[in-house]
């Protein structure tokens, strides 16, 4: 059952609800008003022309009997011409407007597949094209929203299942709440916390509300800190990590927390791409007025057909254990700094992700 908040009554869940009825009724009333005004406007316009023409003709030819018969004979011809012009105007102007009003009503009801023909008069065609573009964007946004909710539910389900299973096992006495099992629960909670924080960062970036806190940062030290934080994971996976710092790279003004998050995401992705060992290099070089940061790995690489989609939300490889948000967030954080991010990869050879940031040096 679902409640109609307009009437305060309950009804079946598949019933038309008040917002849908209101949207349709409003657009129908608007269409009827437009049709009446259009019809009477056209009728008044052509009627005025007929009267003006009759007065001019009478003034020119006078009241001679032959002229009167000519005028009488022209009246039905003029009426026919007026009717043809009205029908042509209706077909080229009002019918497209009527279809546009109906499609707008469907769009207000949540039917984002509504489209209109782009024919009609020259004044109507741009409006029809704009309406179709708007409907396509709304349809795409709705599909992305549905996909985001589905992906989010899938990503949260796994750690929640683990936590639930472990707690039930402890309550049933299958195993004791010892440090090992509690540490496993803590790790799964950390996974959910990281996912929710990623979603928060993503929503702030897409809303243009992401706040940066730039300050002078020593770039080589920042890179070393990121590599050191993942040294144990790299050693366990037989991955050799190193840095390649250019001679002029030093202290720059940037948000250290956000850039660290970018490098961390890229390093984690690189380590996941090398489950059987390899090499990982984080390079930093100054190029004119830009700083180029590159994370280079010798992992499994990315197929060419997937390169255009790697920055999409929840897009990840079949063997990846991440949430699929790392590259999306990295792109948004880099663009918030006024920079760009690009990726080059070859399946079976490796991947290089390059971040280009505007060079803002610390005041001396």
Tell which residue, 240, 305, 292, has the closest CA to residue 270.
240
Q: What is the pLDDT of residue 19?
A: 42
Global confidence as pTM? 0.57
**Strand partners for 4:** 9
Conformational region of residue 120, where left means phi above 0, alpha means psi within -120 to 50, and beta covers everything else: left
Tell which residue, 103, 107, 106, 91, has the closest CA to residue 128.
103
Secondary structure letter of residue 5 according to DSSP: T
Asked whether 4 and 14 are in contact (CB, 8 A), the reply is no
* Residue 358, Cβ density class (10 Å: 0-12 exposed, 13-18 middle, ≥19 buried): middle
Q: How far apart are CA 356 and CA 227, in angstroms?
A: 19
Q: How far apart are CA 329 and CA 262, in angstroms?
A: 8
∠ CA 235-238-240, nearest 5°, is 75
Q: What is the pLDDT of residue 353?
A: 92
Start-to-end CA distance of the chain, whole Å, equals 68
Where are the alpha helices (H) located in 119-255, listed in sequence order? 125-171, 179-206, 219-229, 231-236
Q: Domain-by-domain residue ranges, the chain? A: 2-111, 157-206, 215-358
Each residue's pLDDT, cut to its tens digit, for the chain (364 residues) gives: 444 433 444 444 444 443 444 455 655 666 666 666 666 666 666 666 666 666 665 665 555 444 555 555 566 666 666 666 666 666 666 677 777 878 888 887 778 888 888 776 677 778 888 888 888 888 887 887 777 677 677 767 777 888 888 888 888 888 788 888 788 888 778 777 777 877 777 777 777 777 888 889 898 999 999 999 889 888 988 999 999 988 888 888 888 888 988 998 899 888 988 888 899 999 999 887 888 999 999 988 887 877 777 777 666 655 555 566 778 888 888 888 889 999 998 888 889 999 999 876 555 5
What is the fold of 215-358? Heat Shock Protein 90 (3.30.565)
Reported as type and span, the H/E element at residue 353 is strand 350-358
């Amino acid at each position: 059952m679902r409640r109609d908040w307009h009437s305060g009554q309950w009804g079946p869940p598949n019933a038309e609800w008040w917002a849908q009825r209101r949207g349709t009724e409003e657009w129908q009333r608007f269409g009827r008003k437009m049709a009446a005004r259009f019809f009477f406007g056209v009728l008044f316009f052509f009627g005025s022309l007929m009267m003006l023409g009759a007065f001019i003709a009478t003034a020119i030819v006078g009241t001679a009997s032959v002229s009167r018969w000519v005028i009488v004979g022209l009246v039905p011809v003029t009426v026919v011409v007026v009717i043809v012009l009205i029908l042509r105007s209706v077909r080229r102007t009002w019918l497209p407007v009527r279809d546009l009003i109906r499609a707008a009503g469907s769009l207000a009801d949540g039917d984002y597949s509504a489209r209109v023909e782009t024919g009609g008069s020259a004044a109507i065609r741009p409006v029809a094209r704009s309406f179709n573009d708007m409907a396509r964007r709304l349809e795409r946004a709705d599909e992305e929203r549905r996909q985001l909710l589905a992906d989010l539910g899938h990503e949260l389900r796994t750690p929640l299942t683990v936590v639930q299973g472990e707690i039930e096992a402890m309550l049933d006495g299958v195993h004791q709440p010892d440090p090992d099992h509690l540490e496993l629960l803590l790790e799964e909670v950390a996974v959910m916390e990281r996912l929710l924080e990623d979603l928060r960062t993503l929503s702030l970036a897409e809303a243009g509300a992401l706040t940066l806190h730039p300050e002078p940062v020593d770039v080589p030290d920042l890179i070393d800190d990121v590599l050191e934080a993942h040294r144990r994971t790299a050693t366990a996976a037989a991955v050799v990590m190193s840095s390649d710092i250019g001679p002029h790279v030093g202290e720059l003004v940037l948000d250290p927390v956000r850039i660290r998050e970018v490098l961390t995401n890229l390093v984690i992705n690189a380590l996941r791409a090398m489950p059987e060992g390899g090499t990982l290099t984080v390079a930093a070089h100054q190029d004119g007025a830009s700083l180029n940061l590159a994370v280079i790995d010798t992992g499994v690489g990315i197929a060419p057909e997937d390169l255009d989609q790697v920055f999409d939300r929840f897009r990840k490889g079949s063997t990846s254990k991440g949430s699929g948000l790392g590259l999306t967030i990295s792109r948004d954080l880099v663009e918030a700094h006024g920079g760009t991010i690009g990726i080059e990869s070859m399946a079976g050879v490796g991947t290089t992700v390059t971040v280009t940031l505007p060079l803002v040096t610390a005041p001396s």
